[in-house]
Structure 1
Amino acid sequence: MSSVTVTTWSLEQNSPADLLPAAAPEGDVLIVRAEVPSPEFSRFLYASVGGDIRWTDRLGWTYARWQEYLGRPGVETWVAYDRGTPAGYIELEAHDEGVVEIAYFGLIPAFRGRRIGGHLLSHGTARAWDLAERWPGRAPTKRVWVHTCSKDGEFAMDNYQRRGFRLFDTKVELEPEAATPGPWPGA
């Protein structure tokens, strides 16, 4: 099996003032929190957004594993809709001591390049900063972080930096090369 070199960049914000919001895109784009944990919907978003950029780590998750993860306090899924159609999502995962990770973020391929991504990232990052307001007992957010890699979309890193995220770590690793899993094959 052949290998591919993958560079992973970790970025962070340490204050809500670090967020540099993008302008809202033209058209009828709405961002809504998926408040009811739904393994079916979350797997659809994961496979549809990540299929062409080789997201594979969750493809083997069982229904029960999805349900357990999505039901954890401080895990939130925010979905962008373009005229009623899911266009992409951002998934937030609260950790201890006021840290919130942007666990997943991206757009379904047909919606890329339409300025929805910057708007969704801005909205989702703002929701990471005020996450404790929706989860009584959670510490206020002190840090929001994300990682992106060389397999992600060509504009991912630029979008994070334009939103005010700063690089704090870079890793280069060899990974087994995987076939593109979808979104159609096995999606």
Structure 2
Amino acid sequence: MSISMTTWSLEQTSPADQRPSATAGNVRIVRAEVPSPEFSRFLYTAVGGDIHWTDRLPMTYAEWDAALTRPGTETWVAYESGTPAGYAEIEAQEGGAVEIVYFGLIPAFRGRRIGGHLLSYAVARAWDLAERWPDLEPTKRVWLHTCSKDGPHAMDNYLRRGFMVFDTKVTEEEETVTPGPWPGARP
């Protein structure tokens, strides 16, 4: 069965575009400094399972490792009271661009104001990425994309954090079943 999907690309072109969110409760955001394909795959399936993230599911361990160990790639994990709640993966690109490649919360943690806090933090880390990776040029642009399959608050969160839409595409795609962390996990 084919479904219509809208994809929006959004960007910030200056650190001044950032609009931070308030800190959320007992949430800590920590960089996963040791790249771990196992942990990243867990985060990917736990966050993206119910919203049909599928692009990385066929990747081998070696492909996950290669994606995570590229210079300028970082994974930032939000923990609420010690439990992983969501994550953001950022990646340096040519020309001083940094993409927020993956961003989201595990379903049980959505709607608790963690997403705004995590996104604010991830955007700030994208803007100061070259401070941690001296061989990279300074960040000139932070961008991401979201789509109509993402959660109902995703677009509002991006706009509230200071992102502006620069492109919109509508495509048809086959509806897929995604496993989440396991079949039947919280819808």
* Structure 2 match to 1:4: 3
Pairing 1:3-42 to 2, within 5 Å after superposition: 3-26=2-25, 28-42=26-40
CA contact (8 A) 1:11 1:147 kept: yes
The separation in 2 between residues aligned to 1:42 and 1:180, in whole angstroms, is 16
Question: Deviation of residue 137 (structure 1)?
Answer: 1.2
Alignment counterpart, residue 90 of structure 2, candidates 84, 89, 92: 92
Pairing 1:113-124 to 2, within 5 Å after superposition: 113-124=111-122
* Structure 2 match to 1:43: 41
Q: Which amino acid aligns with 1:8?
A: T
Alignment counterpart, residue 135 of structure 2, candidates 114, 134, 137: 137
Question: Deviation of residue 82 (structure 1)?
Answer: 0.3
* Structure 1 match to 2:71: 73
Q: Which amino acid aligns with 1:162?
A: R
Q: Which amino acid aligns with 1:34?
A: A
Question: Deviation of residue 186 (structure 1)?
Answer: 10
Question: Deviation of residue 143 (structure 1)?
Answer: 0.1
Instruction: Quote the RMSD (CA, aligned, Å).
Output: 1.2
CA contact (8 A) 2:146 2:155 kept: yes
Question: Deviation of residue 4 (structure 1)?
Answer: 0.4
- Secondary structure, in 3 states, of the residue corresponding to 1:117? helix
Pairing 1:166-181 to 2, within 5 Å after superposition: 166-181=164-179
The separation in 2 between residues aligned to 1:69 and 1:57, in whole angstroms, is 13
- With structure 1 as the length reference, what TM-score do the two structures score? 0.97
Question: Deviation of residue 183 (structure 1)?
Answer: 2.8
- Secondary structure, in 3 states, of the residue corresponding to 1:24? coil
Which ranges of 4 or more aligned residues in structure 1 deviate by more than 2 Å? Answer: none
The separation in 1 between residues aligned to 2:138 and 2:49, in whole angstroms, is 34
The separation in 2 between residues aligned to 1:83 and 1:182, in whole angstroms, is 23
Q: Count the aligned residue pairs.
A: 185
CA contact (8 A) 1:56 1:181 kept: no
